[in-house]
Structures are given as C-alpha cells and as structure tokens.
Copies of this chain bind each other. A is one copy, B any other.
C-alpha cells in the first residue's frame, strides 16, 4: 500500500497522525490527518467522524484549532480530516481562493480541466473510508461533519448516503450552493452551465427529495459575515420542515465564521454524533 506516515503527535493520550497516500480516484497524492483516541487498539475498534473543512483549509486546520481531540479521547471516537481538494503539479487551479486547490467543493467534476482530478465526492464517500477502515482500528460506523464548504459537503454526502452515516452535523454550511456566489462559481466550473446537474450536490434540493431520515444538527453564528449572501440556513430549514426531516438548526447569537465558533460548540457536536454512533 502506497501510504507514508508524515508526522505523529501524542494528544490526549491518543495519537494525531498525518499521512500521504496516492488516491487513484483523484489521480494525485493526498494528505489526510487522523486522530486515534486512546481506546482505539487492535482489540477495540472505534467509530469514525469524518470532518470536511472549508475553503482554503487543509487537513490541519480542524486538528489544530477545534479542540475536538479532548472530547474524542473521552468518547472513544476517531476523527479523520481529509484535505479540501486534489493538489500538486499538474492539478488544475484558479487564482481565486474559492475555486481549484483548497476549494474542491466535494463534487465529482465533469468539466475540463477539472474532471481529471476533482473527484472529491467519490474520494470522501468511498476511497478514503475504504483506506481508513483497512488500515486503522476502526469500525464501519461513520459520522460526517464539516464547516462552510465542508458543511455543504457533509450535508450533501449524508443526504445522498443515509445508509453509510449514522449522523451528520455542520457549522455554517453553504446550504444552497446553486443560489449563492461561492456555489455558482464552483458549480459552473466543475459541473458546467446546466443547473440541473447542480441539484445532486445542493443540500436544499437533496433535502426536498430525502426519503430516509438521518439525525442532523447545524450550528450557525448570527454574526457570520457570510450568513445572508452565501450560507442561507433558512432555506435548508424550510426544506427539512416541509418533509419533517430530523434536522435541528441553531442560530448562535454573536458568533462568527471562525474556528473560535467551531471550538465553542464542537463538544456538543461530538456528543450528538456519539449518541447516534453508539446506537448501531
């Protein structure tokens, strides 16, 4: 197996580790981070929370800034943080921070030049979990969460694969990418001009067609600069209410779009996921 351990740090009596591996789906080398809580041993496998980060992030932001490892160590949950796009020489890029490297939007691109590498949906849903579950002492119980672009990723991936995840949560997700500047730019590039093709990656559209419930929690700061133009959780809430989907959206007064917001509420998200991971 073509995988290299790049670093390891003891953390809350468990281990934070970074790896590089070759992704066949993305057709490039990828880095990810995993936190293995002290409970994870050859004799005791643990469930996994996948964390999808936002624009410009790598595998490092959540692991360094969210304060999640303390809770993961208490609850016995592993955390996997992938990168936010394919990277490297030969991978298409854009000068903007919101397209190309660091901005994969968790879709399978169909348009040139992006389609050669930007297949993040398949990578997150299948290739990476297959790798994680073959290499580390983890179960196939999975939860998924993310922030901003990664909140969009978590919600869409969970709504499309309710059998693969026990629960989903998001901080400040891009809820309706088909109708906001970030999403319109990225989807036009990755998926082309036909807006019908965008619907399969839009949480509001997917929610309207959801047939299988999945516990879902969203936190949104009221002082988030991107709230009204880019995020629009009210649209997701309407769609969920319409079909009676078990989604809780909480507006957190005074919080912004930063990792200080995530850190303030990550413990509640971890406990939410633990409750549903343990049901199975």
Contacts and interface: CB of A to CB of B under 8 A. Distances in A.
A74 to B, nearest CB: 12
Most B-side CB within 10 Å, residue of A11, A16, A254: A11
B70 A254 contact: no
Interface in A77-118: none
Interface stretch (A51-59, A197-205, A211-219, A257-265): A257-265
B67 A263 contact: yes
Contacts of A11: 260-261, 263-264
Interface residues of A, number: 23
Interface in A1-52: 9-13, 16
A258 B15 CA distance: 13
Interface string A250-280: 0000111011110110010000000000000
B65 A223 contact: no
A64 interface: yes
Contacts of A258: 9
A53 to B, nearest CB: 15
Nearest to A254: B10
A156 interface: no
Contacts of A260: 9-11, 16, 69
B67 A255 contact: no
A67 B64 contact: no
Nearest to A265: B12
A69 B264 CA distance: 9
Contacts of A255: 9-10
Contact of A64 (B65, B69, B221): B65
Nearest to A12: B264
A79 to B, nearest CB: 13
